Amino acid sequence: MNQNTKSSHSSSQSRSKHRKSKRKKRTSAFRKFFLALFASEKSSSSKKVRQKRSSSRKSNHQETTSLNSSSKSENQKLILHRRRKRRRKKSVLNLPLPLKIALSLVVIMVGLSTILGSTISIANSVRTEINSQVPVIPENTVQNQEELEKMFSVVTLGKEIDNLKTKLQQVTAQYPKLQAELFIVDLTQKNYVTLQGGESIAAASTIKLPVLIAFFQDVDAGKIHLQEKLTMTEKLKAGGSGGMQYQKTGTRYSALYTATQMMVTSDNSATNMIIQRLGGQEKLNQRFADWGLNTTAIRNPLPDLEGTNTTSPEDLGKLLIKLERGELVSLASRDRILRIMSNVRTNTLLPKGLEKDATIAHKTGDIGSVLGDVGIIDMPNGTRYVAAVFVKRPKNHPQAKPLIQKISQTTYQHFKFSQPFLE
């Protein structure tokens, strides 16, 4: 058994050796074949190169021999020029493919940019010619400004609130010695009530409201700076309300402080200083007329105890509507005006008819013959309304104050409980 296994093992070894020798022969044969093929290609390529070189030499030799009749220097220059030309052609032709593509793209882009530039220049020239033929219309002409002022001078209202009007007539009938003039507007619904609201009446200190709005118009226009100094003169000092009259002549105040005192403490000296800074009463009266105020005018300096300065409830009510809309001053100036008016110290008229959660921005007026209060009221239920109430009275009649308070209370309670769709 051992001998058989040995003999089989030796026979398998001999077979493997035979296979290996066959593989070696095959690989050597393949190597020889590929080497011969490569050598033949190499020899053929080298032959082609040698042929090209010999042909180029022959052509160069022929060119040189054919030009022997001319001068040698010219022949050499010509030959050198041709050789350079051939080299350039070869260098361009032998560029790598990516570089050729890049050069082609550059050429195309240069061409497109040239076409686009010429097109734009032609369009600009055509546009210039068209614009030169069309007349330029100035936007801010005087006529346009006047039209805008006329448009803003109109306040569009809804219908009159009949049931509220009846209530207010019943209230005023309780004071036969007094004559009430009023104008109430619901700023949400634009419905209103008026009782002799368009009739002229002595303005007293309520004239300071349009003066304040004119002041902030000039602030918005850059004509007045809030921190510029205004000087108190002896001519501008005025009696009545306010403490600036007791300061030394020549005392200087900022424009903002002066305007604030005109409203908060109803300072008459401050009012005269502001009127002078705005250009005087004639210029202010023209501005009031441009706003659409029909009866509002300044005829004398404050305090004007005779009541020559006039206005009407409708004038001041519509002025507050425009102020609330932001039509007369910027929104920043509007907010500043309302903030100043919310700090007025005399709170014995319209504010007494309101409930504690309501707010009011207002201005009062009080001379012997007239008592009045105008303002914008905000209610907790979201209602906002304008109230302008004046009472003509026998000199300093004490019942004018409670009448204004009752008118304010009746109006407030109506807007508190009424529903807009029932009006």
Positive or negative, the CA dihedral 379, 381, 382, 386 is: negative
What are the phi and psi torsion angles at 206 (to 5°)? -65, -15
Question: Distance between CA atoms of 263 and 342, rounded to whole angstroms?
Answer: 10
Contact between residue 330 and residue 221 where contact means Cβ atoms under 8 Å apart: no
Tokens encoding 285: 């009266």
Question: What whole-number distance in Å separates Cα of residue 420 and Cα of residue 423?
Answer: 6
CA distance 125 to 106: 29
Residue 278 CA to residue 224 CA, distance in Å, equals: 9
pLDDT of residue 26: 59
> Which pLDDT score, from 0 to 100, does residue 88 have?
61
pLDDT given at position 249: 96
Q: What pLDDT shows up at residue 422?
A: 42
**Scanning the structure block, which residue is given the tokens 């009080």?**
366
Strand ranges in 64-178 using DSSP code E only, listed in sequence order: none
Q: How close are the terminal C-alpha atoms of the chain, in Å?
A: 130
Distance CA 58, CA 64 (A): 10
Closest listed residue to residue 375, CA positions, set 236, 230, 138, 184 = 184
> What is the token pair recorded at 315?
């004038």
Whole-angstrom distance, CA of residue 286 vs CA of residue 290: 6
Give me the architecture of the 158-422 domain, per CATH: 3-Layer(aba) Sandwich (3.40)
Give the separation between CA 248 and CA 250, rounded to whole angstroms.
Answer: 6
Render the burial of 400-412: b for 16+ CB within 10 Å, e for the rest: bbebbbbbbbbbb
pLDDT of 94 = 56
Best CA proximity match to 175, nearest among 392, 388, 412: 392
Please state the domain extents for the chain.
Answer: 2-66+74-94, 95-129, 158-422
Q: Over the chain, what is the mean pLDDT?
A: 81
pLDDT in the model for residue 198 = 97
Q: What is the pLDDT of residues 300-331, one digit of tens each?
A: 999 999 999 999 999 999 999 999 999 999 99
The reply to whether omega before 303 is within 30° of 0 (cis) is yes
C-alpha 220/C-alpha 214 separation (Å) is: 10
Share of the chain above pLDDT 70, in %: 64
Three-class DSSP category at 303: coil
- For the residues of 329-378, what is the DSSP string, one character each? S-HHHHHHHHHHHTT-S--SSGGGGS-TT-EEEEEEEE-SSEEEEEEEEE
Ranges of residues in the chain with a pLDDT under 50 are 1-6, 30, 34, 37-38, 41-42, 49, 63, 67, 92-93, 126, 128-152, 421-423
| pLDDT of amino acid 133 | 41
Please list, in sequence order, all residues whose beta carbon lies within 8 angstroms of the beta carbon of residue 324, skipping any fewer than 6 positions away: 187, 334, 376, 384, 386
163 touches 413 (CB < 8 A): no
Distance CA 130, CA 276 (A): 50
Tens of pLDDT, residues 219-254: 999 999 999 999 999 999 999 999 999 999 999 999
Say if CB 370 and CB 309 are below 8 A apart: no
